[in-house]
Structure 1
C-alpha cells in the first residue's frame, strides 16, 4: 500500500495539514499546535510529508525526518498555481498536497544544521558589509559638504580621513566633528566584526572536504565555496550542472510560441547573493588571472566583458556541481584530458 501523503502548511504557532486516509478515503484538513503536530506525526506510520520551503522549513524537515517520515520541500512558486479560492491555511495545505502529487515536481534539498548556520554567517556578513558601505558613503558626503574630498576607494578614503583628522577638525564645526570621529570608530568596529565572521567561515571551509574541493576551481574562494556547499545541500537534488546554473539564475530567460523559442538575458532567479559571488569571482579570473582558459580568451574577443563574466560564472557553477555530485577533485583541462 502506498504511503500516505500529507500537505503541511507551517507557521509560527498554528500548523494546518491536509491528507486523505488510505483505508477509508476520508479527506482530513486539520489544524495543530506545534506539540500536537510532533506527537501526531510520531504516532503515524512512515509517510510522505510535503511542505513549503519557507521560514523554519529546514528545521521542520530535519524534525519530521527524525520521526521516520519522508520529507518533500517544495518551492512556493510551484505551490501557488494549486491554491483554489481565497488564500487560507486550509487551502494552502491542500495546495501543497496537490503539488506534491504532480509527476516530475522538483523539490528543495533539506539543509543540515551546519549548512544553515553557515548561511547565517554569510547573511550576517553581508549585512555588515552593506552597513559599512553606507557609513563610509555618508562620511564622504558629510565631509564633502565642508569642502573635504577624499581619495577613491574605501581603504584609501578611510586612511586619508585618519591622516587628515587634525586638518578636518579645523574645517568642520566641533559639534559635527565629534560625531564624525565616533562614526569612524563605528566603521572600525564593523570591520572587526566582518573579519571575525570571515575567520569563522574560513575555518569551516578548511574542515569541510566539499568546500576544499570547490576552492580549487579558479574564481572560487572560501566565501563562494562555503556559500555554494551550504546552499546546494544535497547535489543529487539537481539533475545536472546546468540545472544548478538555472537555479542560480545564470542561464538565459526563454520565451516562445509557435515552436520558436527566444533567448533573453539571464533569468536572475534564485539566490542573488550566490550569483553575485560567482560573477565577482569570474571577473577576478578574467581581469587578474594570467592563465585563463582558451575559450575565455576567444569569447572575450567576440562578446562584452559582462557577458563573458556571466558565462564563466555559469561554468563555475556547473563545475562545482560536477565535483560535488561525482565526489571528484578539480583538474584543469579535464575535458581535454578526457578526449585525449
Structure 2
C-alpha cells in the first residue's frame, strides 16, 4: 500500500460509520497531514502504517470499543471520547456538522491535556452488558404484552387487579369459561397472547440466570452485591460497565459520573445547587435509585449506622431526597471498597485525614 506521508503522524481523529471512516491526522505541531474518507475494509490496513504508539481517537458510539481493541492490538494508543466532549471542538459549530468536521473535532479533543477518556471495554464486559440490554428489552415487551391482554379483556367487560400475578392466575380460567361473552376468535387470540407472555417470562428467567452466574464468578460484582440496596442485577451492571474503578480519583467523582450530584449555577462566591445532573449511564443510575428506594423504605427495620442515618435523613428532607442521597452514598462506598481494595462494613465510621482536601468516600454523609 502507498505510504501515508513523509511527515510523521502523532494523532488521528476518526469519525466511525458503517461503511466509510473519516480520518483526520495531524503531526506533532498540530498541522494537518491528511484528511480523507476510507472504506471500512481499508481502515485497519491504513492504520497499520501509522507509527507505533500513535494516538487514534474515536467518539464513543456503536462499535467504538471493538475498533479500540483492534487498534490496541496493533500497538496503537486508542482513545475514546464521549460525544458531549467532542461538540465544543467543532470549529464550524452545530450547523457545520459533517464527517470531516467531526473527525477534526475528535482529533482536537483527544489532544487536550485535561480531556477525560472512556476506558475501552473488554469483549467479556460487553457480553455481560448484552444480557442486560436483552433483559431490559424483554421487560418492556412483557409489560406491553400484559397491557395488551388487559385491553383485550376490558373490551368484553372483564377487568382484573393490576398485579400481573392476579391476571396470570385468572387468564386460563377466563379463556376456558364458556359463560362469558368471549367469541371463539377472541379466545384463540388470548391463548396466543398467553403463550407469548410465557415465552417472555422464559427469556427473562434466562437473563436472570446469566446475571446471577456473573455475580458468582466476578469478584467486583460479588463485592458490590454486599451493599445495602444493590442486588445482583445492579452489581453485575456496575462491574461490567465500569470495570476499573481506579479510573476515578474519588468516590465523589464516581457519583458525579453517574449523575447523582446536584447541578450547579454558581457565581461570585455564591453557591447555587439544583437538581441532580442525571448525566452518565441512565441504566446504572436507575438501578441505583431503585435499590436505594428499597433500602430507604425498609431502613426502620434495621439497626446499622447507614439505616439509622437514612431514618433521620428521611424525617428531615423527605423520602425522595433520601433515596438520591442513598444512591450517591452507595456509589461512593462502592468506589471505596473496589478502588482501594477494602472490605465493606455497614458500621464503618469514616474519618477525614487532617489537611486532606479529598472528599471522604465510604459511608460519609
Alignment-derived partner of residue 95 in structure 1: 105
In the TM superposition, what are the counterparts of 1:81-230 in structure 2 within 5 Å? 81-85=88-92, 86-167=96-177, 170-230=180-240
- Measure how far apart 1:248 and its partner are: 1.6
After TM superposition, the score normalised by the length of structure 2 is 0.86
| SS of equivalent residue, structure 1 residue 301 | helix
Q: Give yes or no for contact 1:256–1:262 (8 Å, CA) kept in 2.
A: yes
SS in 2 for 1:334: coil
State the distance in 2 between where 1:67 and 1:258 align: 50
Superposed CA offset, 1:35-87 (max 9, x none): 33212322322211211011111111111111112222111001011112222
Deviation at 1:138, TM superposition (A): 1.8
Q: Structure 1 residue 50 and structure 2 residue 60: aligned?
A: no
User: 1:109 and 1:169 mapped to 2: Cα distance?
Assistant: 62
| Aligned residue in 2 for 1:60 | 67
> CA contact under 8 A between 1:217 and 1:316: conserved in structure 2?
yes
Cα deviation code 1:97-140 (max 9, x no counterpart): 11112231111111110111111110110010011011111211
CA contact (8 A) 2:261 2:328 kept: yes
The more displaced of 132-141 and 160-169 is 160-169
Tell me the distance in 2 between the aligned counterparts of 1:160 and 1:35: 56
Aligned to 1:247: 257
Structure 1 partner of 2:345: 331
Instruction: Provide the residue aligned with 1:74 in structure 2.
Output: 81
CA distance in 2 between counterparts of 1:336 and 1:8 reads 45
State the TM-score, normalized to the length of structure 1: 0.92
Deviates more, 1:287-296 or 1:320-329: 287-296
Q: Say whether the 8 Å CA contact 2:229–2:291 is kept in structure 1.
A: yes
- The reply on whether 1:11 has 2:25 as its aligned counterpart is no
Instruction: Give how far 1:23 is off.
Output: 9.1
Check the 8 A contact 2:128/2:240 in 1, yes or no: yes
SS of 2:266 mapped into structure 1: strand
- 8 A contact 2:9–2:26 mirrored in 1: no
Q: Structure 2 regions of 5+ residues with no counterpart?
A: 1-7, 354-365
Write out the 4+ residue segments of structure 1 that deviate beyond 4 Å after TM superposition. 23-26, 336-339
User: SS of the counterpart of 1:79?
Assistant: helix
RMSD: 2.2
Once the 2 structures are TM-superposed, how far is the Cα of residue 233 of structure 1 from its aligned partner? 2.5
Flag structure 1 segments of 5+ consecutive residues without an equivalent: none
Are the structure 2 counterparts of residues 228 and 24 from structure 1 closer, same or farther at C-alpha, using a change threshold of 3 Å?
closer
3-state SS of the aligned residue for 1:15?
Answer: strand
With over 3 angstroms needed to count, the CA separation of the structure-2 counterparts of 1:255 and 1:64, relative to structure 1, is: same
In the alignment, which residue of structure 1 is the partner of 2:286? 276
Q: In structure 2, which of residues 26, 37, 40 is the aligned counterpart of residue 34 of structure 1?
A: 40
1:297 paired to 2:311 = yes
Alignment partner of 2:114: what SS?
coil
Cα drift, residue 33 of structure 1: 2.4
* 2:360 equivalent in structure 1: none
Question: Which structure carries more relative contact order (alpha carbon 8 Å, separation 6+)?
Answer: 1
CA–CA separation in structure 2 for the residues paired with 1:101 and 1:24: 9
Contact 1:17 1:31 in 2 (8 A): yes
Q: Retained in 2: the 8 A contact 1:47–1:69?
A: yes
Q: Is residue 59–residue 81 contact of structure 2 (8 Å, CA) maintained in 1? A: yes
**Secondary structure at 1:171's aligned position in 2?**
coil
Deviation at 1:338, TM superposition (A): 9.5
Give the stretch that moved more between structures: 75-84 or 323-332.
323-332
